[in-house]
Amino acid sequence: MNILITGGSSGFGREMAIVLAQSGHNVFAAMRCMSGKNRASAETLLELSANLEGQIIPIDMDVTSDASVDEGVSLVLSQLVGSLDVVINNAGTYIGGLNESIDSSQVAQTFDVNVLGVVRVMRAVLPTLRQQKNGTIINVTSSVSKLVLPLSGVYTASKAALETLTESYAYELAPLGIETLILQPGSFNTGIMNKSPGPDDIERSMGYSQTLNQTDQMVQRYMNLVKNSYFNNTPKLVADSVANLLEQPYGKRPFRTLVDPSELGEQVSGLNSKIEQSQLQFLQSVDCENLMTIERA
């Protein structure tokens, strides 16, 4: 298969590119600043590709730029032998802190990457997928879109928005033969938090001492629940889950794949099941329970 992955320089994206190329797929690993700060990442992936059954082709793409996304996707399409089979919207950014201390420009930047970045890629690839009348889109969200934490409100909101948007895309695209899926990882040490900028307006944190005392306890207890997963499971576990997902028959793959081996994973799974059951009941009430059935060409 021909696969495009955004955010391919590190974390989940890098591991997905390697695992999928090991399985014989041709992977276009999109990343920004390929000739700058991510040059070493691109070169490493090329070196690894030489010994894999498939191949990894690094592509320069900044998901916050319409022009960059359009140029990157055009380059991918020009190099394809066959169809564009899978698009994985993995690029993401994180910001933590009290909501009031994160100014509007930082909120906008987070949504620009985590939500609008996906929209840009979808708009760039969908004309081709619609013409093909097939293709799989996998949007990477997060288990915290279901279990909300303090001090991560902006990130959580962006991932919750992406979950909802992906569900809407799934309804719209299934009748055209296009499969739209959600990959929902738990807490893994991908390095994303190390790259996180701090809040711009620290002064706004003054007066929050009582809140911080309570939220710090909650965050610490949360970390105690996920620490074994966070430190003992690598992002490769998520990449392996994607490879296994793509081995399943097209049109029969589960809409949402949760990859969370922590103690919270079972709780998130339960929430997912309740939401999916409620959604199914709604669709049945309007006589549209087959709306997400993939129409084959």
Does the pLDDT at position 150 exceed 60?
A: yes
- The neighbour count for residue 131, using CB atoms within 10 Å, is 11
Instruction: Write the CA distances from 176 to 63, 68, 86, 224, integer angstroms.
Output: 25, 27, 15, 45
Q: Mind telling me the catalytic residues?
A: 155
Q: pLDDT per residue over 175-194, tens digit each?
A: 999 999 999 998 887 877 66
Q: Give the per-residue pLDDT at 34.
A: 87
Predicted TM-score (pTM) of the model is 0.93
- Cα–Cα–Cα angle for 164, 70, 52, nearest 5°? 85
Tens digits of residue pLDDT in 251-291: 999 999 999 988 888 889 999 999 999 988 988 898 887 88
Question: What kind of architecture, by CATH, is found in domain 2-285?
Answer: 3-Layer(aba) Sandwich (3.40)
Region at 70 (left for phi over 0; alpha for psi -120 to 50; beta for the rest): alpha
Are the beta carbons of 62 and 92 closer than 8 angstroms? no
Whether pLDDT at 196 is above 80: no
Please report which residue ranges of 23-152 form alpha helices under DSSP H: 39-49, 66-79, 104-111, 117-132
Contact 135, 87 (CB under 8 A): yes
